[in-house]
Chain A
Amino acid sequence: MDTTDTTLLEFRGVNKAYPTRDGEVVAVEDLDLIVRDGEFLTIVGPSGCGKSTVLNMLAGLENPSSGSILLNGRSVSENRMKIGYVMQSDNLYPWRTLVQNVEFPLEIRGVPAKKRREIAIDYLRKVKLDGFEDKYPYELSGGMKQRGNIVRALSFSPDLLIMDEPFGPLDAQTRLLLQVQLLELWREEKKTVIFITHDLPEAIALGDRVMVMSARPGRAKSILDVKIPRPRDIAHIHEHENYRELLSVLGDQLAEEMQVASAIKMEA
């Protein structure tokens, strides 16, 4: 099968090392990965395994030490405007109202004021934030802010949405709600998503594939398909045979890496 026409993103032998006082630390090693157009890929791994480094390189905030990252066959530096990034911490601009935040990327692109307001309001409605358009971030709850962050990253129709533990700081209920909304958005928008989490159930519930990253240096330890049909009912996802299977297999792999990671920490 020729994969080239469905390949959106490709990591080719990507390495990333940081110089530190005690010599080089290799954060990412020999990462090869192909992400298909429209795919929802989740990445799990022990903390400090270079997951965020992978996203930062994708976003163009850091450069790989060697290897290349290609989006639509071109290097990411040429793709700066085509990626939406949602970070773990809330990063809505506090001096802008919610709707002004969502408009921000459109404003940069010179979309006329009326048009961009329309688009922003439309997106806010999709994540049930209508009525909060003119609130400042400090007036919103954590879940609302994170939904704002997500639609801001989507408002300019990026080719790829990358998310770094976006639901990490949220409570369980809010988390579930946002997972459901994210899947709905994803189905409507048909965007490719790369989603990092430390929560294995979340990774399985959301992803088409789950990639486990090894402890430092980070590499792709394994990538498994999630065979749970869509649309998924996240609240009852644990009833699926495949969910339990994956949880067990991936859980073992993750536990292994966690041990390695804690051993690294002990050394340090």
Chain B
Amino acid sequence: MKAKKSPMKSTAASVKPKRFRSKRDVLICQIALSVILIGAWQFASGTLIDPFWISRPSDIIVYIGNWIFAGDFVFHFGFTMAATFIGFITGAVSGFFLGLLLGRAEFWAKVLDPFLVAINGIPRVALAPLFVVWFGIGLLPKIVLVFTLVFFVIFYNTYSGVKSVDRNYIDLAWVMGADDSVLFRKVILPAAMPYIFLGIKLSIPYALIGAIIGEFVASSAGLGWKIQVETSLYNTTGTMGGLVILMVIVMLMNWALERLEQKILSWRPQQRSAGADIA
């Protein structure tokens, strides 16, 4: 059937139908944008601005290549990742359990609230030197710093997740015969999962930031330490190279998390994750 343009329809027809843009189109635009930005940088460096200040992409790539294949990259990378992940896991697990516990124990949540707010209010940068005094310059102070960052993010998210569980879900489960353990495992936990996952997504970049700050303050190893050393030598290429590596790490983590989220939270209607990536 051919649709004839009636006067009625002409108004609707004048509004162009939204062109369907595929994932591939998005990717193409992203690649184009990267090429333009990096190309502009490459071009500006040496013509508009002295490469001493901004280095240049080609130099950075060479630097990273040398560092990875002929340098001590693996050692520093391993150090930073160890601090990040050990701090993340311990912080996430304890934040998660405290969130669950306090989410179900209103009295203690009220008692502890000002303490948690106060401790969480301390800028971690200010704590970092103290951790050096307490724990030395090895891996431990970095882990503790990461812990203090991740713990609160996961705790608050888990807590609000547990608090926000629809009362009817719990009542109905109870009527159907659920005991506390079933209620916890099969109703409260899955219902709180989107919140908990948001907490994980938010806290992963924090974990890395914590490790880097720790290394900046006092260290003898790690990507953060390396970046600082290069900066102190006025080696802009080295500094930028380190930053690029950090960027890549965060992007990879994010990608992996999104994959995991799609799997675990497949029961939710597809939606864009709002703002969660900006941390």
Contacts and interface: CB of A to CB of B under 8 A. Distances in A.
Given A89-B168, A94-B268, A108 B182 contact: yes
Q: Which of B177, B191, B266, B269 has the most CB of A within 10 A?
A: B177
Contact of A60 (B175, B186, B187): B175
A108 B267 contact: no
A87 B268 contact: no
B177 A80 contact: yes
Interface residues of B, number: 21
Interface string B170-182: 0111111110001
Contacts of B173: 104, 108
B138 interface: no
A209 interface: no
Interface in B141-188: 166, 168-169, 171-178, 182, 186-187
Contacts of A89: 168
B193 A95 contact: yes
A243 interface: no
A91 B169 contact: yes
B190 interface: yes
A136 interface: yes
Nearest to B265: A95
A153 B268 CA distance: 23
A87 B176 contact: no
Contact of A95 (B171, B174, B182, B267): B267
A59 B175 contact: yes
B177 A81 contact: yes
Contact of B178 (A91, A108, A136): A108
B191 to A, nearest CB: 7
Given A95-B191, A105-B176, A108-B182, A87 B267 contact: no
A156 interface: yes
B95 to A, nearest CB: 22
B177 A108 contact: yes
Contact of A61 (B171, B267, B268): B171
A95 B190 CA distance: 7
A18 interface: no
A36 interface: no
A104 B186 contact: yes
Q: Which of B171, B172, B186, B266 has the most CB of A within 10 A?
A: B172
Interface string A147-162: 0000001001000000
A80 B175 contact: yes
A85 interface: yes
B197 to A, nearest CB: 12
B182 A93 contact: no
A138 B172 contact: no
Given A93-B190, A95-B190, A87 B177 contact: no
A262 B168 CA distance: 28
B190 to A, nearest CB: 4
Nearest to B270: A138
A96 interface: yes
A93 B187 contact: yes
B219 to A, nearest CB: 43
B168 A87 contact: yes
A96 B172 contact: no
A109 interface: yes
Nearest to B166: A91
Contacts of A95: 190-191, 193, 267
B77 to A, nearest CB: 37
A222 to B, nearest CB: 29
Nearest to A80: B177
Contacts of B169: 91, 93
Nearest to A81: B177
A156 B177 CA distance: 10
A61 B193 CA distance: 26
B267 A105 contact: no
A74 to B, nearest CB: 16
A73 to B, nearest CB: 20
Nearest to A82: B177
Interface in A133-147: 136-138
A91 B269 CA distance: 17
A169 to B, nearest CB: 14
Contacts of A153: 176
B175 A109 contact: no
Interface in A59-107: 59-61, 80-81, 83-85, 87, 89, 91, 93-97, 104-105, 107
Given A91-B168, A138-B267, 6 more contacts: A61-B174, A80-B175, A84-B176, A95-B191, A105-B176, A153-B176
13 contacts: A59-B175, A80-B175, A81-B177, A83-B175, A85-B172, A93-B187, A93-B190, A104-B186, A107-B186, A108-B178, A108-B182, A108-B186, A138-B267
Interface of A: 59-61, 80-81, 83-85, 87, 89, 91, 93-97, 104-105, 107-109, 136-138, 153, 156
Would you list the 7 A-B pairs with minimal beta carbon distance, nearest first?
A81-B177, A105-B176, A95-B190, A95-B267, A136-B267, A85-B175, A59-B175
